[in-house]
Structures are given as C-alpha cells and as structure tokens.
C-alpha cells in the first residue's frame, strides 16, 4: 500500500496534485492573512469616519428610532456631539423631552421628538414622523428600534403576541420608517450636493448565525441583513450609504445584561465604535454594506466565518446549547421569584 502511494506521489499526476494543493494552501493562507490584517486595520489603524460628509456642523438633521434608552439614546447624544440636529423617535414622550432638553443644552443643536409605539403598525405613526421632518434637511437615519424574546424559547412554544411584536417592530416598522425618511434624505443629498446620506440599521449575531431558541428574532435580524444590503445597492447611486451594524451582546435593557466586559460593551463604547467605523467592514469582511464595529465582536465574527462558518452544524449546536442553558436558568429564577 505504501509503495502504491509512493508510486502515485512520484507520478506526473501525483506531482500535479501536490503542486495544486500547495498553491491552494498558499492562497488560503495569504487570503486569511490579508483579511485578518484588514480587520485589524479597520478597527485600530484607519482614521475615524468624518461625519462632515453626512452634514455634521452644517445645520442638517439625523433621525434616531428607539432613542429614549440604551443604544438609541447614545446614538442621539453622539450624533449631536458631532454637530447634527436630532429627531428623537420612541414610545415615551416624557423621556424623549428630557433627553431632547439635555442634548440641546449640552451640544447647542436643535431637536424634535416624536412619540411612536413601534409595536403597532399604525399609519398615524409614520405620518407623525413625516410631519416632524417636513422641510428639514435630513441626511442620517438610525434604525435602532427592535425587540427580542423575553427569554430564549422554542419556536413551537413562542407566544403569538411575542412572535407578532418581534416581526412587526424589527421588520415591518423598520421598513416603513425607512420608506418614510429615506426620500427626505435623498432629496436633501440631491439639493445639497456636497453631502451624502446615511442609513444605519441595527443587526445582531442572532441574525448572523441561525439561533435556536431565538428563532423568530434570529429570522427577523437575518431578514434585515438581506434587505439592508439590497437597499445599499439601490441607494448608493443616489449618494446614500446604507449599512447594517452587527453586534454581539451589549449591556442594555433589551439584552437584560447590566455588567460590561471585553465582549459585552456598554452602549456608549458600542456606539462610539460604530460611528467611528461607518464605511468600514471591521469583522464583516465577507458581507457587503455590513460592519461589525466593536473590536471583540469583530474578531468573533471573523474567526467564526473563517473556521466553522456561520451556517455550520457546529455553530448551530453551540448556539442551541448556550440558549437552552440560558432558558433553563431563567425558568429556575422565575420559579424562585414566584415562591418568594
């Protein structure tokens, strides 16, 4: 047997196979190295995105949804700090008014507020946004509003209201808000000529990797990936950049995580990394019009994609085990609280 293998190795066919394997291996290694360097360059070496091209300090406006808490609130503050006026959209009017007042006093920009219940697909909501931005030179939209499951849950046990709310908020409302605001952005870009438009939509590792026990949320975020990339192709010729922002966990009300770590940043650090990296893929080297901006999330995304792959059975099983464990702990905690 060994003699046969040695004979094959010495044959012209065997030599050709070895040469081909060497070339393919070298190509893979060089490609991996270049992509890894690209991740490092985007995260740590490249210059921060200059928001002047999106109208910062020029009297132009940004619209931020889900702006009363967490990541959305940080987007509003950090865009205002860059010199953009801000339209704040969220459910609770009192919170929005307090945030608007703080932003105006701190950054000397203008604000508007729109009370908007994203769990209801009501035409009056979109009319309220359109009325608020009528006549405003809007260049930026941040689609931050979103909802996940209360705890990980098997799809067949998912409550109908939870299922409907997730799809309504994450998909239908996000698309309709974009249909409302994007025409104003394209009109502003056409009129101003010296600025570009920007639409950022919050994605998730839940959409990057199929996620058992978060099936509805996972599917809703995967939908946003495809929609956002398609929209990027449509609006690029009109001077509007569209980007999906992929994140792992962020300490926020939606994630129910309070303690930050190297892999779980707070909203301030996450938003700072996102705005710094607009236009750069960071860890999302394999995806068009997509960024995984926070450094640890970027390396996680890159290495999963470069090794087992996001659609592999290995990744699926790891996700299954992790979220099943989270569900078990959540149910035990709920049972203890009920007894107490």
> Which residues are part of the catalytic machinery?
217
Angle 248-252-258 from CA coordinates, rounded to 5°: 100
DSSP 292: B
Residue-wise burial string across 29-45, b where 16 or more C-beta atoms lie within 10 A, e elsewhere: eeeeeebeebbbebbee
Query: Under 8 Å CB-to-CB from 66, ≥6 apart: which residues?
Result: 72, 89, 90, 118, 144, 145, 146
DSSP 193: -
Helix/strand/coil for 101: helix
The reply to whether 204 sits in an annotated binding site is: yes
Counting every residue written for the chain, the total comes to 340
Place of tokens 């608007």: 100
Comparing CA positions, the residue from 125, 21, 144 lying closest to residue 73 is 144
Question: Both tokens of residue 269?
Answer: 């650090």
Place of tokens 């997730």: 166
**286 φ, ψ (degrees, to nearest 5):** -90, 0
Bridge-partner residues for 245, per DSSP? Answer: 202, 291
Comparing CA positions, the residue from 88, 92, 79 lying closest to residue 119 is 92
Would you list which residues are annotated within the binding site? 204
Would you list which residues are annotated within the binding site for substrate? 204
């Amino acid at each position: 047997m060994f003699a046969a293998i040695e004979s094959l190795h010495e044959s012209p066919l065997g030599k050709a196979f070895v040469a081909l394997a060497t070339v393919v291996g070298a190509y893979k290694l060089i490609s991996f190295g270049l992509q890894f360097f690209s991740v490092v360059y985007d995260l740590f070496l490249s210059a921060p995105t200059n928001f002047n091209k999106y109208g910062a300090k020029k009297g132009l406006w940004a619209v931020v949804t889900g702006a009363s808490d967490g990541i959305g609130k940080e987007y509003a503050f950090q865009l205002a700090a860059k010199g953009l006026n801000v339209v704040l959209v969220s459910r609770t009017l009192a919170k929005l008014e307090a945030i608007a007042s703080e932003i105006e006093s701190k950054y000397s920009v203008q604000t508007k507020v729109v009370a908007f219940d994203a769990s209801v697909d009501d035409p009056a909501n979109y009319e309220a946004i359109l009325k608020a931005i009528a006549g405003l030179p809007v260049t930026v939209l941040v689609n931050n509003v979103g909802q996940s499951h209360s705890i990980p849950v098997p799809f067949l046990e998912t409550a109908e209201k939870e299922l409907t709310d997730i799809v309504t908020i994450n998909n239908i409302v996000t698309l309709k808000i974009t249909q409302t605001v994007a025409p104003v952005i394209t009109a502003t870009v056409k009129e101003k000529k010296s600025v570009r438009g920007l639409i950022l939509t919050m994605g998730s590792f839940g959409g990057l990797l199929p996620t058992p026990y978060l099936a509805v949320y996972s599917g809703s975020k995967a939908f946003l990936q495809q929609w956002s990339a398609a929209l990027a192709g449509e609006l690029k010729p009109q001077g509007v950049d569209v980007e999906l922002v992929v994140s792992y966990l962020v300490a926020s009300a939606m994630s129910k995580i309070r303690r930050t770590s190297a892999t779980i940043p707070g909203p301030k650090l996450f938003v700072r990394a996102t705005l710094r990296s607009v236009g750069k893929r960071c860890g999302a080297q394999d995806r068009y019009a997509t960024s995984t901006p926070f450094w640890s999330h970027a390396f996680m995304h890159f290495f999963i994609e470069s090794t087992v792959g996001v659609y592999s059975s290995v990744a699926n099983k790891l996700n299954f085990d992790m979220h099943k464990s989270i569900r078990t702990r959540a149910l035990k905690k709920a049972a203890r609280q009920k007894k107490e």
